[in-house]
Amino acid sequence: MKMIFTFYTPGRGIGICVLLAVLAAALPLRAQQTVPPPSTEQQQPSTPTTNAPGATGENNSTQSEISTPPTMFPHPDKTWWFIAGQANFISQVNPPFPAKYSGPHSFKNDYEKATSRVLTLFAGAELNRGTEILVDVEETGGGGLSTALGLAGFVNLDVVRNPTIGQAPYLARAMFHHVFALSKEKVESERTPFNLFTELPARRLEIRFGKFSTADFFDVNSAGSDSHSQFMNWTVDNNGAYDYAADTRGYTVGAMADYEDLSWGVRFAELLMPTVANGPNLQWNLRKARSENVEFEWRKNFLPERAGVIRILGYSNQANMGIYRVQNELYLDGVTPTPEITAHPEQVTTKYGFGFNFQQMLTKDVMAFGRVGWNNGRTESYCYTEVDQTVQVGVAVDGTQWKRQNDKAGAVFVSNAIKSDHQFYLAHGGLGFLLGDGALSYGRETIFEGYYNLHIWRGIFAGVDLQHVNNPGYNRDRGPFFVPGLRLHMDL
């Protein structure tokens, strides 16, 4: 998932907000609450707050015990069409912090502030009882602290980090979705931007192809996948070691098959990779680049009468990626003045990895969650961020206990690491697409994050967030520091 940096133009953003409101208000809507859409813009792409891909019905998801937030306008559940929208604004401040030195890709140690925005229009149409078309349009703007450089676990998932990408609205998703019924038994399903059907076969095969985000369907976690109502950090809302296929905006093109049974599911996707690391263009020649992803999901009451979900992920990426050890050796031989991961002829190399993801209700409104991730680390960090190993554990609470059922709060700890070849590369002046202090005194990058999301009125929410970062960019010579943040979110 890549971050893109763009510049803020209020007029366009306000115009899209007004358009979303007018479209929603003009429709003959019936009272009905739906799950609002959220992103992860790798920016993380805008992703609606949904259950896991296979979670449909009371027995299939921990989300069934967590309240569904309201929207500005009610949405019908009996029409063949669907339309919804959202707007998300995040403002953060970086106070000064100690640093022995800085490099071209360092997180700045001077005072700084930044605001990002993501505006999304979701639309869909049911062609028949088992087939639908889903289309989303987005606009992003503003920026991130230090232009989203210097941290493996960057503090704002909504930030777009590529300065060459314009601010014009763009097509985020356009996918075909068909459901093959494998049983007569039906389960209820919430209507969301990823699924318009309110009823699905209990056993089924779902086929999707088109443009979407890998993170829409893989490594989903009900407590930590949504920067619009939950945590903001990149390596909290996604598994940092999952270098999932994506262009710089966080989207790809491909096909996915998802088999769902009552208590388990398995999904596989073949996806396109970018032509260069963090690049805006996808490689359409599958002999040169591609990504295979598979995930098994098990839904069970691991504690008495408390729902839980376990997900086990594996992936393999093939692309024109450099190998850290080879580039380090070229530097030691005097071929390059510093290690340079892109200084190689066109080649096809492989990065593979695994992930473990869990969520478990502890009480009716308290959920524990976490992730563990690992990749081989020998090849270039290419799509998401510069993490080879990660572990996170956290807790999420809704506001039912204090009579604020649409409020949310959470706290999490995450620790990220890179392999020795990657360490050597950075220590001798190498630059990744995110990291590069010019030198390195290695230490694990650790992050604590806590947030509170306050429901104000209908689909309007305000949030406060605080992150503490130790060893930013794996460098013990810089930091630590705090990053406070504010969020305003609207679900239309």
- Per-residue model confidence as pLDDT tens digits over 281-290: 999 999 999 9
Residue 419 CB: number of other CB atoms within 10 A? 17
Cβ-Cβ contacts under 8 Å for 135 (sequence gap 6 or more): 123, 124, 171, 173, 174, 175
Whose CA is closest to 230, among 57, 88, 93, 56? 88
Which residues, in sequence order, are bridge partners of residue 118? 88, 140
The full set of domains in the chain, from first to last, is 10-491 (2.40.160.10)
Measured between its terminal Cα atoms, the distance across the chain in Å is 26
Give the pLDDT confidence score for residue 160 in this predicted structure: 76
For residue 76, the model assigns a pLDDT of 87
Kindly provide the residue ranges of all beta strands, DSSP E only, lying in 333-387, ordered along the sequence: 349-363, 366-375
Distance CA 356, CA 384 (A): 17
**Contact (CB, 8 A) for 407 and 398:** yes
pLDDT at position 44 is: 54
Query: How far apart, in whole angstroms, are the C-alpha atoms of residue 235 and residue 253?
Result: 23
Query: What are 192's two structure tokens?
Result: 């969301």
Query: Are 173 and 212 in contact, with CB atoms under 8 Å apart?
Result: yes
Taking every pair of Cα atoms in the chain, the longest distance, rounded to a whole number of angstroms, is 70
Q: What angle do CA 160, 170, 318 make, to 5 degrees?
A: 65
C-alpha angle with apex 155: 230 to 47, nearest 5 degrees?
Answer: 45
Burial 162-173 (b: 16+ CB within 10 A, else e): beebebebeebb
Asked if residue 247 lies in contact with residue 107, where contact means CB atoms within 8 angstroms, the answer is: no
Q: What is the pLDDT of residues 193-213, one digit of tens each?
A: 999 999 999 999 999 999 999
Q: How many residues does the chain have?
A: 492
Positions of the chain with pLDDT lower than 50, given as ranges: 1-42, 49-52, 55-67
Backbone φ, ψ for residue 453 (5° rounding): -115, 115
Q: What is the pLDDT of residue 337?
A: 96
Contacts of 74 (CB under 8 A, 6+ apart): 29, 30, 31, 32, 33
CB atoms within 10 A of CB 208: 23
Cβ neighbours for 294, distance < 8 A, ≥ 6 positions apart? 266, 267, 268, 269, 313, 314, 315
Record the tokens describing residue 327, joined without a space.
């580039």
